[in-house]
Structure formats: C-alpha cells, structure tokens
Copies of this chain bind each other. A is one copy, B any other.
Amino acid sequence: MKEFKITKLTPNDMKYVKMMVQELAEFEKMPDGPKLSIENFQADLKNNRFFGFIAMSEIDDEPAGMALCYMAYSTWEGPFIHMEDLYVRPRFRKSGLGKNLVVAVCKEAKDKNYQRVQWNVLDWNPAREFYNKLGASNLSEKEGWLAYRLEPEQIAKIASKEI
C-alpha cells in the first residue's frame, strides 16, 4: 500500500505546485494555459492569495498530489473555501489519496466553521463520479448556475468605457 504525508503548502513546495499545475492543464487538454513561475507562486502564497495541501509519497519522496484552494465569500454565509485544483498524479491514483486531500480541506473548513467547500469541474471529467460519492451537489444542474468571464481585452475596453 502506498503511503503519503499530507502537509500544508509552504514556499518550498512551489516547484512541485508549478509542475502539477502543468500536468493538470495537460490532462484538461489546455497545455498552454499555465503562465506562472515558481516565484509568482511563492509571492502569492506569502500574500495569502491561496493556501492548500500537498501529498508527498513517503516511499520515494516525490510529490503525489495536491489540493490548492483560496478563500471565497458568500454574501449569504460568509467566507468559504473554493478548491481551485485537486490533483493526483497518474501513478498515485486509485490509492484513496484524492479523498484524503479532500479530507484535509474539509477539516480546515470544519475547524474554521466555513459553511461551504466549492469547486468547478469540466463536464467530461470522470472525477465527477468521485464528487457524487462524496455527497457534493452539482449546483449547475440543481440551480442553473453558469460561469461568465471577462478577459483582459474586454476588461480594458470596459474600464475605458469603450463598451
């Protein structure tokens, strides 16, 4: 049985975060997405832009997965956790590690009395079955939520009142 040590993300882990973000982007079929350097991640962690957990394989001292989160805010229920990336590297899958990373996130939520843990997933991602087993609600299906985004070009146009 594989053994993992799960700890809070620290600046020293950012090299592994960058590597796993790239791996996850490749899995999501968007390999050109990631733009951040190790130094960017280190600065953003220091500024509390995100927090999270990393799993290290105790057998070979290699990163095995991570849950990277940020603090979101509901005007109904206050601060809550948004899980931005939950990732287990391919060779460490089917070991229960994904669940243990979610357990770490939920412990943090319970300790701090946050009322929600939320995340987004692509509709074709088989992880949805795992999320259903955890008892998570699909809010897009249940309530009809859609995600909208402005990109830099539109942001600049709107900011200068060109739209």
Q: B-contacting residues of A (Cβ < 8 Å)?
A: 17, 21, 24-25, 33-36, 40, 44, 49-50, 68, 70-79, 82, 84-85, 102-103, 106-107, 109-110, 114-124, 128, 131, 133-141, 143-152, 154-159, 161, 163
In the assembled complex, the CB of A46 is this many whole angstroms from the nearest CB of chain B, namely 13
> Does the CB pair B102–A124 fall under 8 Å?
no
Q: A25-B76, A110-B156 are in contact. Are A149 and B136 (CB under 8 A)?
A: yes
Dominant SS among interface residues on chain A: mixed
Supply 4 further A-B pairs (C-beta < 8 A) apart from A44-B78, A68-B75.
A120-B148, A138-B147, A140-B145, A145-B147
Q: A49-B78, A73-B50, A149-B118 are in contact. Are A144 and B123 (CB under 8 A)?
A: yes
Bound form: Cα–Cα A44–B115 in Å = 15
Q: A159-B106, A159-B109 are in contact. Are A117 and B149 (CB under 8 A)?
A: yes
